[in-house]
A and B are shown apart, each in its own frame.
Chain A
Amino acid sequence: GENVEQHPSTLSVQEGDSAVIKCTYSDSASNYFPWYKQELGKGPQLIIDIRSNVGEKKDQRIAVTLNKTAKHFSLHITETQPEDSAVYFCAVSKVGSQGNLIFGKGTKLSVKP
């Protein structure tokens, strides 16, 4: 089955710096790649997603890039702020899976003021 690996597991940056989180997947049939942000005590919140027919997508300070050949995709957060501190999860879905998501194990991002 699909295997999603997420790195790093923890990431600490200074406010204003950029943060990059990377996920790799194993199944070449995967075609939907969302990113979720989870604050302490809350449910995951979708922050950005990308489909396999697109290589990059940007939404203000957040961007996602996809390399289908290498089977990896990355979340980029620029100009980080303390409120970006949270756990971030990548996920993958493929055709024929009824839209079911396979999640990475998460990255705890800490932004220091």
Chain B
Amino acid sequence: NAGVTQTPKFRVLKTGQSMTLLCAQDMNHEYMYWYRQDPGMGLRLIHYSVGEGTTAKGEVPDGYNVSRLKKQNFLLGLESAAPSQTSVYFCASSYGLAGRMTGSRQFFGPGTRLTVL
């Protein structure tokens, strides 16, 4: 099993350009997440999905869109990139809620380092 994979690993954009980050998982997980990681800020949730065809906003959703057309894939889009979106982006997946409606283990991909000039 490859686990969670992310494409691309690195990308440099100019302000105003658009791009899509791809996340794929082969663990048959229901839930998928997109985070961004900035120095000294930990990880912050951008968007998430609790199943194929569903998406929801996280803590920092502005400037991003997502789609989950297939269970195994979760796409993160930047329509008009800004320097403030320079960050490392991580995708994660999980089986979903465990017993008693508690969180379940999230497994992370290797990340995409994005620089917006």
Contact = CB atoms under 8 A, between A and B. Distances in A.
Nearest to B40: A105
Given A43-B90, A44-B108, A45-B108, A95 B101 contact: yes
B50 interface: yes
Interface of B: 4, 31, 33, 40-45, 48, 50, 56, 58-59, 90, 94, 96-98, 100-111
Instruction: Count chain A CB atoms within 10 A of each CB in B40, B43, B59, B111 and give the residue with the most.
Output: B43
A6 B103 CA distance: 20
A95 to B, nearest CB: 5
Given A42-B111, A43-B90, A44-B90, A100 B103 contact: yes
B110 A49 contact: no
B110 A43 contact: yes
Nearest to B43: A103
Interface in A42-91: 42-46, 49, 51-52, 89
Interface of A: 6, 31-32, 34, 36, 41-46, 49, 51-52, 89, 93-106
B110 A95 contact: no
Contacts of B102: 31-32, 51-52, 93, 95, 99
A42 B41 CA distance: 17
A43 B108 contact: yes
B105 A89 contact: no
What 10 pairs between A and B have smallest CB-CB spacing?
A: A93-B103, A43-B108, A32-B103, A99-B103, A103-B42, A105-B42, A103-B43, A32-B102, A44-B108, A43-B110
Contacts of B48: 98, 100
6 contacts: A31-B102, A32-B104, A36-B108, A43-B90, A46-B106, A101-B43
Contacts of B104: 32, 99
